[in-house]
Amino acid sequence: MKTTVKDIRTVLENALLKDGKMEYGLYEYEFEELMDELKATVIQDQDEYLFAITTHKNDETGKEDTAMVLIEQSGTVHINELARDKLKDVWKGAYEGNMKKFIPDFALQLHQGEIPINGVKTA
């Protein structure tokens, strides 16, 4: 069965708003080889942070897995739940509201085969 935008949105809400578990193997599969490029983007765009999220249907379990990475300007990398926790800290009280705004776009991008990558500048 094909994964819909609505399915992806539900998976993202679980991972980002309900503190759902993320999969390290998916981080390795999707993000490890992109790491140099992502770190360069943080510096090039003069962002304080950059984060990206992905989902992928697990062939063994049939469920949709999630992975996330957050990179600081210093080059420090936070993976999955640690990335989510760091972003919550960076955005303080705005995390939930921001994610509710972003998740529909993230789901659409993921459904179209793109990985949402977002720079963060703080005031």
> pLDDT digit string (tens) for 59-69?
777 788 999 99
Nearest-Å Rg of the Cα atoms of the chain is: 14
Q: Which residues contact 117 (CB under 8 A, 6 or more apart)?
A: 38, 41, 50, 51, 52
Q: Work out the pLDDT band at 32, boundaries 50, 70, 90.
A: very high
The Cα angle at residue 80 between residues 13 and 52, in degrees rounded to 5: 75
Q: Work out the pLDDT band at 91, boundaries 50, 70, 90.
A: very high
pTM: 0.93
Report pLDDT for 61. 77
Torsion of the alpha carbons at 33, 34, 36 and 42, rounded to the nearest 10? -160
Report pLDDT for 78. 98
Residue 29 near residue 73 (C-beta atoms within 8 A):
no
Does the pLDDT at position 28 exceed 70?
yes
Rounded to 5 degrees, what are φ and ψ at 52? -140, 150
Q: Work out the pLDDT band at 1, boundaries 50, 70, 90.
A: low
What mean pLDDT do residues 19-46 have? 94
Q: How many CB atoms lie within 10 A of CB 18?
A: 7
